[in-house]
Each structure stands twice: as C-alpha cells, then as structure tokens.
Amino acid sequence: MKRLTLALAAALFAAGVVPGLAFAQELQVGNTTTALAAPTCPQEATVTETETDCAIVLTKTTAYETLSDGVSDPTLVTAPGVIDSFSLGVSGLVIQGASLAKELSTLDTNWGGPPSVELTVLRPVASKGGARWAVAAQSPVMPLRPYLGGVVEFPLIAPIPVVKGEMLAITVPTWAPVLTFGLSTTQFSYTQSHTQILTGTGTAQKSSCETTASTTLAQLTLGEQAQYTCAFQGTRVEYTALEVTAPSVSASSSRHDHRVRHVRKHRHASKR
C-alpha cells in the first residue's frame, strides 16, 4: 500500500491528528530486505502424537523482532503517527505425512484455542534487570485459521496512535504459526515476554528460555509489564505494520483501548 487512504486521511484531519496532509507519510515498520512470507516446515520435519517438531509456532507470549537482515529493532517506532494496519506471514502447517486436521486439533487443544494474534504497542519502562516493557495499546484479536499458508493484512478500523520510542510487537493469546527459523544467527533474532531463569546446579543448569512455558506469558492487559531477556537467534517473527506519520500525535491524549473493538473486514494480501 503506497498511499494515504482518503477515509483515513479524512478521519485524521477531522480529529486534528494531521493538521496538514502534506506532512503525513506512510512507513512500513518492520520491513527489511527479506520480504514478509509464510513460514514453511523443512521436508525432514516429522509429526509426533502431541506436537509437531517444526518450530514455527509461537505460543502464549508477546514477541518482537530484535534483529532482521542485520537491522536492530526494526519494529521500533521512530516517528509519531497512527498504525493503520499490520501484516503477518502465516504458515500452512503442511508437514510431510501429517494430517492438517489433526495438527490443528492438537495445537488447539495444547494451547487453549484456535490460532490468533493481536498487535501490541509496548512502552519502555526503566529497569535495571534488562529490557522491560508495558502494554500501551492493543488491536483487536485477529483469527488466523482462514489465512493459513499466506500473507495477510489486517486493517484497523480504529487506527492506533503511537509515539517515538514505542515498540510494535505481536501478542499470541493461543498459538500462531508465524516463525521462520534456521536463518543466520548474526542477521535475525527475536525476543519474547520471558525472563531468563537458570534451573539446576553446576554444569546441569538450563535456561528457562529453552523451555516452553506451561502458563501464558502473553501481555494481555493495558499497563501490564514484562521483562524481555530471552533472545532467540536465527529466527524471524513474520510481521510488519503500516504507520501513517503525523507530527502532532499525542498517544497519551488520543489513545484508547482498542481491544473492545471488533474488526468487520480483513484484507488478504497475495502470497509473496
């Protein structure tokens, strides 16, 4: 999308968010050299009775990309504006020898429901123990099952105001097949709302970052805080967002809770 839509422009102008449309521009936040794509499982991946061995599924957490094509913090907001939409690459979950219906049933059972995602705006919080963020705003929860195997764009009926220094993340209340793994460890990495804890003793110590949480780590409440001290190298979370910049945006005065709003339509982007 390379234009400021007339409807959005009119709404922003009427609200006083954009005093002059000549100053507004679009930014593809999170867009780097590698195009957004639906993750795929390698041919050697197999299926067990309880879970797939293909590590493309993000579960019950909030996550953001820390490195993409060597670009640090690609989803960091660098100018005030509003988020008009966000896009995801969603895997088709096709694994050799697997039944898609069985995969979906297993994942739904294990993680509390069908695949879903919401865009989360994180505000930095001063912390001595590593990166700490608080939820500043969230989009409605978007169902992913209709979009398995493609790249989908979710327009936001109520655009979300953002300011410089905030981070755009995705929150997964259940599960979402949005991870591309096996990439360069020096070019790609992400982090999630998970504090590193070492368990065991001596050489047997194991980091909690290496384990799957039994309870939800997702940031689901406005104002909720979490630390992000686990780095997952060589993996990309397949998401970007469209921001319309507007120098006069004040997140504190114009932001409201978008979680209670309902999305009436989705734009499904063609596979790339």
Question: What are the structural domain ranges in the chain?
Answer: 25-33+55-196+214-250
Which residue, among 86, 66, 74, has the nearest Cα to 32 in the 3D structure?
Answer: 74
Q: According to DSSP H, which parts of the chain are helical? A: 6-14, 100-111, 251-254
DSSP 59-90: EEEEEEEEEETTEESTTB--S-EEEEEEEEEE
**Residue 255 structure tokens:** 């932001």
Nearest to 68 by CA among 240, 193, 189: 189
Best mean pLDDT range from 9-18, 180-189, 192-201: 180-189
pLDDT in tens, 2-53: 334 444 555 555 545 545 445 678 999 999 999 999 998 765 544 443 344 5
pTM of the model: 0.79
- The dihedrals phi and psi of 195, each to the nearest 5 degrees, come to -90, 135
Q: Which of 112, 270, 98, 243 is nearest to 167 (CA)?
A: 243
Report pLDDT for 132: 85
Burial (CB < 10 A; 0-12, 13-18, 19+), residue 80, is buried
40-44, 62-66, 94-98: which has the minimum mean pLDDT?
94-98
Helices vs. strands in the chain: H and E counts, helices first:
3, 17
Give SS3 for 161: strand
Rounded (to 5) percent helix, strand, coil in the chain: 15, 35, 50
**Length reported for the chain:** 272
What three-state secondary structure class fits 95? Answer: coil
pLDDT confidence tier of residue 253, bands split at 50, 70 and 90: very low
Q: Rounded to 10 degrees, what is the CA torsion of 183, 154, 256, 253?
A: 80
With tokens 């234009």, the residue in question is 3
| pLDDT computed for residue 6 by the predictor | 43
Token couple for 249: 């945006």
In this structure, how many other beta carbons lie within 10 angstroms of the beta carbon of residue 49? 6
- Does the pLDDT value for residue 125 go beyond 50? yes
For residue 180, which of 103, 240, 237, 233 has the smallest C-alpha distance?
Answer: 237
Helix (H) or strand (E) holding 97: none
- 220's tokens: 């689901």
